[in-house]
Structure 1
Amino acid sequence: MSHNTIALNKQRQPLDHLESVWLFGYGSLIYKADFEYLQRRPAFIWGWQRRFWQGSHDHRGTPEAPGRVATLIEKPGARCAGMAYKVTPDTFEHLDHREKNGYLRVFTALHWLDEPGEAEGLVYLASADNEAWLGPATEAEIAAHIARSEGPSGPNSEYLLKLAEALRELDEHDEHVFAIEQELIKIPADNLPE
């Protein structure tokens, strides 16, 4: 599957018939809402875990030297916390472009972190069959990759550090993210892109 998924997302899931849609963010969407939304709520989904296994050719890296960003990997019983946004369907013009690098929209049940209840929502997932997939590596290897990567949206390290900070603000502990953060902190600052 091509890493540019804009047309595929529109074809697979037209949303024009809906008045609003909940969107679940688990990576940069937690802390960078560069779109209008009707409502914003902390939420989580079951059966998925966050992993830095997806390449970023367009935001935190380049086609020649992709960075590493988060995707979700299925894991029974796992719980992944993030931020949900209630948006109008036309917002997906922007979101499909922002998340075009190998991510497909999938419907899933969202559960609220602040009170009991749930809603159906969309999440962007990048699986192993997309061209931007980088796959598993140790936290130290991922941190080293992130330390040397930079793209049009800035240093890859900024993405990781802002995600870790956002998860702390949600009072969520993500072993994978925090372990990569600790490995990144060990890397001398003069080895990081400016």
Structure 2
Amino acid sequence: MWVFGYGSLLWNPGFEVQEQAVGTLWGWHRSFCMRSIHHRGTVEAPGLVLALDAEDGAHCQGVALAVAEGQEAQTLAYLRERELVSSAYFETNLEVELRDGRRIEAVTYVIDPDHVQYCHLDLEEQAQIIARAVGGRGPNTDYLHNTASHLTELGIEDGDLDWLSARVRALTGT
């Protein structure tokens, strides 16, 4: 079983990974399009987390994570508890093209565009929210900066996340 990570799964998978490979998911893009009312914000002051939003011609580079043999059921239960806490994501299996040319099916969490937590904000609006939001798993800034730095370490370019990280640092003075 493979899992596709494009946000916090890059730096905090929470399960035993047997193999990791950079891969591309076609037809989707990474975006801060989900209001977070649990992990990185609250109902009163939502934060933002990344989700995969469908878009013709788009692609998202991330990491395919192979689940350790024998840990599939336990991992899926863990991921469902973590990712489906508010039903804003759909769990689906999508084809991912790995850098080495392999094509695999991976459990992937994508945004439900009809869910109340779905949003479409410009980058400045995103930065303003991320700079101040805090939720059950800590500051929204930590989520952004960890994701941006891990993408850089993996050799994955994401101009929007780089811009957001720099802008949020300017807003927060950190």
1:131 deviates by 2.7
Which residue is equivalent to 1:170? Answer: 154
Which residue is equivalent to 1:59? Answer: 39
Of Structure 1 and Structure 2, the greater strand share is in 2
Tell me, which stretches of 5 or more residues in structure 1 are unaligned? Answer: 1-20
1:99 deviates by 0.4
Which residue is equivalent to 2:28? Answer: 48
1:36 deviates by 1.8
- One-letter amino acid matched to 2:120: P
Q: Output the CA distance in 1 between the equivalents of 2:43 and 2:126.
A: 18
1:98 deviates by 0.7
Q: Output the CA distance in 1 between the equivalents of 2:150 and 2:9.
A: 10
Which residue is equivalent to 2:113? Answer: 128
2:121 is equivalent to residue 141 of structure 1: no
1:119 deviates by 0.7
Which residue is equivalent to 1:103? Answer: 89
2:169 is equivalent to residue 185 of structure 1: yes
Q: Output the CA distance in 1 between the equivalents of 2:127 and 2:10.
A: 20
Tell me, which stretches of 5 or more residues in structure 2 are unaligned? Answer: none
Give the aligned CA root-mean-square deviation in angstroms. 1.5
Superposed structure 1 runs of 4+ greater than 6 Å apart:
none
Q: Output the CA distance in 1 between the equivalents of 2:40 and 2:157.
A: 24
- One-letter amino acid matched to 1:70: L
TM-score by length of 2: 0.90
Deviations along 1:100-135, one digit per CA (max 9) or x if unpaired, are: 23111111101112x1111111110112212322x1
Aligned length: 168
Q: Output the CA distance in 2 between the equivalents of 1:182 and 1:140.
A: 11
Q: SS in structure 2 opposite 1:59?
A: coil
Deviations along 1:70-107, one digit per CA (max 9) or x if unpaired, are: 01122222221111112213211110111023111111
TM-score by length of 1: 0.81
- One-letter amino acid matched to 1:73: D
Residue pair 2:4, 2:63 contacting (<8 A) in 1 also: yes
